[in-house]
């Protein structure tokens, strides 16, 4: 990546102070940046680094005031943090994009590949697959039969995208994620053993979804497991068969959602949260890390914590009481003693 400060300013729709011709090649943290780097300042705690950084360009919030001269060319924007996110995305897309089909990749002649698509070495594309334009299939990816992958989607190494699954546009599926694996469906028999229930459905992932490394999303028993548009899923997350995750919900690492649960829009699920099956979770629900949810949530924008999870505000009040339990217990003992003494006198 090579930009002048003026190019960068125009790209970010900012206001430039300093040398517009200075060149930058990569982004860097403000405390570690060198000549030729572009950095940013969004948190006031890092302001002292503005006077010592060697970055060539510094992206800052438009209202920040410096009390002495700084070395970098300044680009003022409405939101420096959002601007650096845009810059990082641009940098990654420029430096990571590949084109063409690499040696040792297999693509079934019954499948179609869109314009500017890339399929890395040792990847396998089965029959009747549709790969959209600008798709990036990195090495060692397996794509099963009758799968559809939308435009500008990236599958990182080791991804398993199994039969009949659908992935939308602008999605990112990180390394070793498994999409469309068999749902955990068994029925007990009279002799105490378990008979497997065939899982005949698929997984549908809508646009602008990101799925973390080593996460697993099971195919539906019948119908589809749905990951709606804008969902962000961290590493090591398990989503069971027939689950539906609503738009723009985020799920942190090591969480698990059991079968047929419906999670609403704009929910926030912390790390190591466990959610039992067949629940309905209202839009905007927030579940604190390590909570266990065992009942449906009907009121939107509820905050929950604990195991079993209950309302966050009540939990905080309960914790205050919990801390005082030894003191309260001693008071009860003292009162019992006084009561015994009063009874003895009477």
- Alpha-carbon span 161 to 148, nearest angstrom: 10
Contact between residue 220 and residue 241 where contact means Cβ atoms under 8 Å apart: yes
Q: Which residues contact 313 (CB under 8 A, 6 or more apart)?
A: 303
Return the structure tokens found at 319.
């914790």
Closest CA to 39 of 53, 51, 52: 53
Closest CA to 35 of 56, 6, 5: 56
- Alpha-carbon span 77 to 82, nearest angstrom: 9
Return the structure tokens found at 67.
């009390």
| Alpha carbon separation from 258 to 164, 237, 280 (Å, rounded) | 22, 11, 12
- Alpha-carbon span 142 to 177, nearest angstrom: 11
- DSSP letter, residue 297: B
Across-strand partners of 250?
A: 232, 268
- DSSP letter, residue 96: H
**Which residues are catalytic, by number?**
241
Query: In degrees to the nearest 10, what's the CA dihedral of 275, 278, 284, 289?
Result: 0
Contact between residue 24 and residue 5 where contact means Cβ atoms under 8 Å apart: yes
Q: At what angle do helices 5-12 and 80-96 cross, to 10 degrees?
A: 110
- DSSP letter, residue 45: G
- Alpha-carbon span 51 to 67, nearest angstrom: 10
Return the structure tokens found at 84.
């650096």
Here the contacts of 103-107 (C-beta below 8 Å, separation 24 or greater) are: 105/137
């Amino acid at each position: 990546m090579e930009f002048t400060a003026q190019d960068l300013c125009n790209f970010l729709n900012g206001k430039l102070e300093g040398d517009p011709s200075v060149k930058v090649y990569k982004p860097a943290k403000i405390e570690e940046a060198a000549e030729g780097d572009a950095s940013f300042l969004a948190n006031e705690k890092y302001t002292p680094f503005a006077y010592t950084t060697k970055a060539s360009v510094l992206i800052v919030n438009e209202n920040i005031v410096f009390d002495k001269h700084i070395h970098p060319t300044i680009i003022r924007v409405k939101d420096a943090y959002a601007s650096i996110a845009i810059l990082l995305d641009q940098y990654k897309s420029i430096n990571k994009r590949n084109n063409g089909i690499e040696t040792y990749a297999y693509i079934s002649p019954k499948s179609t590949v869109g314009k500017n698509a890339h399929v890395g070495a040792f990847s396998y594309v089965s029959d009747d697959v549709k790969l959209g334009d600008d798709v990036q299939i990195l090495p060692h990816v397996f794509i099963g039969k009758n799968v559809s992958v939308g435009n500008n989607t990236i599958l990182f190494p080791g991804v398993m995208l199994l039969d009949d699954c659908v992935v939308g546009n602008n999605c990112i599926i990180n390394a070793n994620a498994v999409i469309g694996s068999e749902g955990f469906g068994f029925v007990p028999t009279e002799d105490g053993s378990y008979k497997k229930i065939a899982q005949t459905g698929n997984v549908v992932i809508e646009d602008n979804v990101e799925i973390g490394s080593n996460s697993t999303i099971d195919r539906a028993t019948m119908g589809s497991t749905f990951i709606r548009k804008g969902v962000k899923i961290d590493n090591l997350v398990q989503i069971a068969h027939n689950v539906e995750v609503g738009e723009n919900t985020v799920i942190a690492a090591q969480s698990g959602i059991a079968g047929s649960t419906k999670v609403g829009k704009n929910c926030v699920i912390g790390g190591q949260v466990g959610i039992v099956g067949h629940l309905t979770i209202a839009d905007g629900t927030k579940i604190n890390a390590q909570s266990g949810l065992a009942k449906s949530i009907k009121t939107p924008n509820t905050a929950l914590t604990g195991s079993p999870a209950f309302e966050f505000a009540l939990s905080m009040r309960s914790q205050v009481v919990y801390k005082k339990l030894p003191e309260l217990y001693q008071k009860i003992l003292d009162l019992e003693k006084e009561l015994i003494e009063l009874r003895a006198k009477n």
